[in-house]
A and B are shown apart, each in its own frame.
Chain A
Amino acid sequence: MKNIDSLLYFTPEILLVIFAVAVILLDLVVKNRESSAVAHLSLVGCICTFAAVLFLHFSFGDEGPISLFLGMIRLDAFSSFFKILLLLATAATILFSLRSEELDARLKGEYYALLLAITLGMFLMASSTNLLMIFISLETVSLTSYILAGFLTHNPRSSEAAFKYITYGAVASGTMLFGLSFLFGMTGTGDLAQIAGRLTELLAAGDIAPIAVLIAITFVLAGVGYKIASVPFHMWSPDVYEGAPIPITAFLSVASKSAGFALFIRFFYTGFGSTELMQAVDWPFMLAIISALTMTVGNLAALPQQNVKRLLAYSSIAHGGYLLMGGILLTSEGIGAILFYLVVYLFMNLGAFYVVVLIANEVGSEMVDGYRGLSSRAPVVAVAMMIFLVSLAGIPPFAGFFGKWLLFTAVLEQGYYWLALVGLLNSVVSLYYYARIVKAMFFEEADEETDSVSFSTGTFALLSVFVIPTIFIGFLNIFYTFSNISVSVLPIQ
């Protein structure tokens, strides 16, 4: 579709830009530093964008995928799925930020504008179908996250986080760009579907060696792997997660990972999903190894952590590994499982981080010891945190179990028994460190006589927004259907 015609279908992204600018302008006008007007405006922005995404999906969803801007991005159920997911994460992050006491009141305008901008970048990551667009969207997201990670200007750890993040990020995107240039050089086109066709022809004719394709894929994986924090590109994430403001950590661990998976799925499924390519270049095996390493490294490194934020950072690496399992061989069941798990993961992980925000505000500590005796001081929060952690460990009847179950079924269906076994043993290991927090909350007494902590009704309302889905998603048919529909629109080679 031509550029001008495409604009109608681009409304959600345009709305995000408008609201980002409006937030900056409003920040200039509002004099009262304590006012939360900018936060509320950005929340309204999220809601409007949400409405626009839904409107587009239900008005044009039946016509099948629509290719926009001369084939640069695609509007389909797959991208709509991720846009909804990302908007939920952004809205939750805005609400966390409202309650967080870490953030500098003077920089509120920039903060929320950047949040909307990063969401825009992630929208594009979920819908790009051209190498150029993929790279641009990835860079938009990366550059914005560097700033947000270093947003606590008075805190040296935050600056360290931003610096580490940018160093790793620069190397990763450089490597990825190199890989993309390989692909362009071999095929002469940037469009993913055309690349797939050309590569198949070239390989069949023997004009290029399979090893060249494998090298290109490996380099591209560096960029994608860095976004989803998979081994060996994960080293930045614990430091960044620990140093960044908690709402941003929550956002990065959920939204950034989801967008990374959106890009990963579209890139590999559209570009390299054909059986011929998989037979010529054994990249599924490489992914299986990366997946196994990612979850093992994440879980083992999480075991000794004393800082809850850092512990959740490693746990989030491990979850990236579980998610990758669904990505090997790229069957529609596997991708459906990834999408389902991302929904579950959104609620349980954001919920856990929300509790971290609450405890950091009330107790002033991010360490496991700070959670001691929480069950008697704030029973509702303690029970909610327990539900999130147990769900992250993948124990029934919580949603995390159903998510893992789908992933393992997909893996076993492909005959990767060893990988499923590694994954399952990993979830046993992960229980140990999640249980440490539960133990501190329920089995141990607080050090000194601390008063019970009381929270506002709004806090409980927001908490229940995360708790209720964590309990019930697995029991509801609609979410399974939803993830399957989103997969069905992807072109199968």
Chain B
Amino acid sequence: MLLSLMIFIPLLGMVVVLLLPRESEELVKRVTLIFTLIPLALAVYLFISYDRSTAGTQFFHGPVPWIDAFNIQYHVGIDGLSVTLLLLTALLGPICVIASWRNIEKGIKAYMALFLLLETGMLGFFAALDLFLFYVFFELTLLPMYFLIGVWGGPRREYAAIKFFLYTLFGSVLMLVAMIAVYLNSNIVNGVAEGARTFDIPTLITLAATQGHALADPDFQVWVFVGFFIGFAVKVPIFPFHTWLPDAHVEAPTAISVILAGILLKMGTYGLVRVNMAMFPQGLAHFTDGIGFWGNSLALLGFINIVYGSFCALAQTDFKKLVAYSSIGHMGFVILGLAARNSEGITGAILQMFNHGVISAMLFLLVGVLYDRAHHREINGFGGLGTRMPIYTGITTLAFMASLGLPGLSGFVGEALSLLGAYDRFKFLTILSTIGIVVGAAYFLWTLQRVFLGTLNPKYEALPEINGREILTLVPLGILTIVLGVWPNFAIDMFRESVTNLIDVLHAI
């Protein structure tokens, strides 16, 4: 019940916001803030009271029958992986509302309403335990995102918005085919149909591990794996499905970039863990067993993401585009860690998901702060800002260091664990992947030098320092970065049992 409350409170908030008068903008913002703070409070409660000693899903609601004709149920629950990401989502909610406080000029009511709808979609996605429900929540985030980029975005917003929409929809229709195929085969044992079909994810995971069940057929698993994989790969994004991301990020308003990098990309990797790995271990094995081209393909994609993303970031002169490409690079570590299929790799990947959510959110907020003042993002157009904006410079340096993987800050732990796990399985690719870390350090340090060091550009002598509201959005994220850097078990404890459980599933085949 608590979980459902958390998911649908933003939706209720959307209705409330829509009923408020259009003129009272301050009221709209405050109401939205309240409706994002409630899920945060609930998420913190769930995070604290979650039983860390078990891998089983907790805080169930359902299964409640929804569409009987197809045995579709409303069924939500959380395990260690989802509770971490729910906390991240709920945390970024109010932060984004505060970040949007001053710089959304038109239609604030519609903006906030769409934002709340988006939050319901994201929270529901991480908690759904019915495949159909999972898909509906997945797609529910599309429409608000399309409008948030398309209406409130930068100069090329229309192009970016439709590109995002089409790419994601292309991925999700392939996922839909795979989903229907799973449903249709869910009651076939040894070639004979038995009982009712189901969309229930825990049941499907059990069935897919049952000898003789149609879902356990290796060939079937490989095909369905590919269908789901492309759907999630567009979202992550994994090369070559990544080209929508730089466009969407550059055009989106600051808060939406934060959500995009912080949560939407994680939806892709979360889907990979929840569906592709847990449900189709044999499909996964086909692409990660290290034999031949296909056996290395997933690790290869991770490697390409890391190296390609980093080099692309190095070449950027637009601050926001640089951060966008660095996201592609960092998501590569998640893929590499998952491809390792061992405890270190998967733990590292999940930790990296959370850390990247925090760090990239910080980076995009920081880019937004600078853009609001200077009205451009050209890295070479600045210089010497360190003397003018010391606090801003300090926070940015922290975020940069965390992102480039400085030990002691959170980015390091996730990447190190991913590489550690991957080295065990894919030595050559892992060694090559470290190039990405070096390049990552290069572009962040170079950017630091170009923007903050050197002589101050006279144009920006009057640039105001970061203000209290902006600091308020960055502080919680900054604290998390440091805490997770020195005490990663704070997060790892949450999903340790879930990972052990997943490893058991993966090794059972």
Contact = CB atoms under 8 A, between A and B. Distances in A.
Contacts of A413: 184
Contact of A409 (B143, B150, B180): B180
B166 A390 contact: no
B194 interface: no
Interface in A382-435: 390, 395-397, 401, 405, 408-409, 412-413, 417, 420-421, 424-425, 427-428, 431-432, 435
A424 B174 contact: yes
B176 A475 contact: no
B425 interface: no
Interface stretch (B64-72, B239-247, B395-403, B451-459): B64-72
Given A397-B136, A443-B150, A428 B170 contact: yes
Given A395-B143, A424-B176, A480 B69 contact: yes
Nearest to A481: B69
Contact of B173 (A424, A435, A443, A444): A424
A477 interface: yes
A10 B33 CA distance: 61
Contact of B67 (A412, A417, A432, A477): A477
A408 B162 contact: no
Contact of A427 (B173, B181, B183, B184): B173
A163 interface: no
Given A396-B136, A412-B177, A435-B165, A443 B68 contact: no
Contacts of A396: 135-136, 139-140
Nearest to B153: A443
Contacts of B491: none
Contacts of B142: 395
B126 to A, nearest CB: 17
Contact of A484 (B69, B140, B157): B69
B461 to A, nearest CB: 36
Interface string B133-171: 001100110110011001100000110011001100110
Contacts of A435: 146, 162, 165
A437 to B, nearest CB: 12
Contacts of B158: 439, 443-444
Nearest to A379: B110
Contacts of A431: 165-166, 169
A442 interface: yes
Interface residues of B, number: 31
A443 B184 contact: no
A424 B178 CA distance: 12
- The B interface, classified by DSSP as helix, strand, loop or mixed, is helix
Contact of A439 (B136, B162, B176): B162
Among A427, A431, A444, residue most surrounded by chain B Cβ atoms (within 10 Å): A431
Contacts of A417: 177
Interface in B161-210: 161-162, 165-166, 169-170, 173-174, 176-177, 180-181, 183-184
Among B158, B169, B184, residue most surrounded by chain A Cβ atoms (within 10 Å): B169
Contacts of A442: 147, 150-151
B7 to A, nearest CB: 14
Nearest to A484: B69
B388 to A, nearest CB: 36
A427 B142 CA distance: 15
Interface string A172-202: 0000000000000000000000000000000
Contacts of B170: 425, 428
A405 B176 contact: yes
Given A412-B184, A424-B177, A395 B169 contact: yes
Interface in B54-83: 66-70
Contacts of B70: 409, 480
Contacts of B147: 442
A395 B172 CA distance: 10
B462 to A, nearest CB: 33
Contacts of A444: 158
Given A405-B176, A477-B68, A477-B69, A432 B166 contact: yes
A409 B183 contact: yes
B248 to A, nearest CB: 15
Contacts of B161: 439, 443
Interface string A31-55: 0000000000000000000000000
Contacts of B169: 395, 427-428, 431
Nearest to B152: A443
B134 to A, nearest CB: 11
B52 to A, nearest CB: 34
Contacts of B69: 477, 480-481, 484
A76 to B, nearest CB: 21
B147 to A, nearest CB: 7
Nearest to A423: B173
A439 B165 CA distance: 12
A396 B142 CA distance: 9
A421 B230 CA distance: 14
Contacts of A395: 139, 142-143, 169
A417 B146 CA distance: 30
B71 to A, nearest CB: 12
Nearest to A432: B166
B224 to A, nearest CB: 12
Contacts of A484: 69
B221 to A, nearest CB: 16
B157 A425 contact: no
Given A409-B183, A409-B184, A428-B170, A397 B157 contact: no
Given A395-B139, A396-B139, A428 B184 contact: no
A424 B181 CA distance: 14
A431 B142 CA distance: 12
Interface string A447-463: 00000000000000000
Contacts of A409: 70, 180, 183-184
A439 B139 contact: no
B14 to A, nearest CB: 13
A475 B66 contact: yes
A420 B184 contact: no
Contacts of A397: 136, 139-140
Nearest to B142: A395
B166 A420 contact: no
Contacts of A481: 69
B416 to A, nearest CB: 39
Interface in B227-269: none
A428 B173 contact: yes
Nearest to A477: B68
Contacts of B135: 396
B468 to A, nearest CB: 33
Among B69, B136, B151, B166, residue most surrounded by chain A Cβ atoms (within 10 Å): B69
A417 B69 CA distance: 22
Given A390-B143, A432-B166, A442-B151, A408 B66 contact: no
B180 A412 contact: yes
Contacts of B184: 409, 412-413
A397 B140 CA distance: 7
A443 B151 contact: yes
Among A390, A401, A409, residue most surrounded by chain B Cβ atoms (within 10 Å): A409
A475 B140 CA distance: 14
Nearest to A436: B162
Given A417-B177, A443-B158, A428 B166 contact: yes
B227 to A, nearest CB: 10
Given A442-B147, A444-B158, A480-B69, 4 more contacts: A405-B180, A408-B180, A443-B158, A477-B68
22 contacts: A395-B142, A396-B136, A401-B139, A405-B180, A408-B180, A412-B177, A412-B180, A412-B181, A412-B184, A413-B184, A421-B177, A425-B170, A428-B166, A431-B166, A432-B166, A439-B150, A442-B147, A442-B151, A443-B151, A477-B69, A480-B68, A480-B70
Q: 7 closest A-B pairs (Cβ-Cβ)?
A: A424-B173, A480-B69, A396-B139, A396-B136, A443-B150, A412-B180, A428-B170
